[in-house]
Amino acid sequence: MNVTTVGIDLAKTVFSIHDTDQHGKVLVRKRLNGPKLLAFFAQLPPCLIGMEACPGAHWRADNRAPTTGKTRLPAESSNGKR
């Protein structure tokens, strides 16, 4: 599996994951709980991770980026939550 980008929808207990390759082809679409999410990211090659900008996103980005690569968080004003 050649994952280049992972999109993650953050929630309190279940997280939705959407992985694509360099051509935008969807490779994985699944819902994971916290422990399974950590195991999922541990097996990924370095890749770009996109997630919504909420308070928990910064903690998750800091803890995932060292093992999986870059993490990008959109500006708060771009996600309609302000």
Report the Cα 14 to chain-centroid distance in Å: 13
Domain annotation covers residue 4: yes
Domain annotation covers residue 12: yes
Specify whether the CB–CB gap between 15 and 51 falls below 8 A.
no
Helix (H, G, I), strand (E, B) or coil at 23: coil
Report whether pLDDT(79) > 60. no
Domain with 38 in it: 1-17+25-44+54-69
Which of 51, 43, 39, 30 has the alpha carbon at shortest distance from 1?
43
Instruction: Please state the pTM of the whole predicted model.
Output: 0.61
Domain annotation covers residue 76: no
Domain annotation covers residue 74: no
- Taking only the tens place, the pLDDT of each residue in 24-36 is 899 999 999 888 9
Domain annotation covers residue 9: yes
- What are the phi and psi torsion angles at 57 (to 5°)? -65, -40
Domain annotation covers residue 49: no
Q: What is the pLDDT of residue 59?
A: 62
The tally of domains found in the chain comes to 1
- Taking only the tens place, the pLDDT of each residue in 44-69 is 888 888 877 666 666 666 665 555 56
Share of the chain above pLDDT 90, in %: 15
Domain annotation covers residue 39: yes
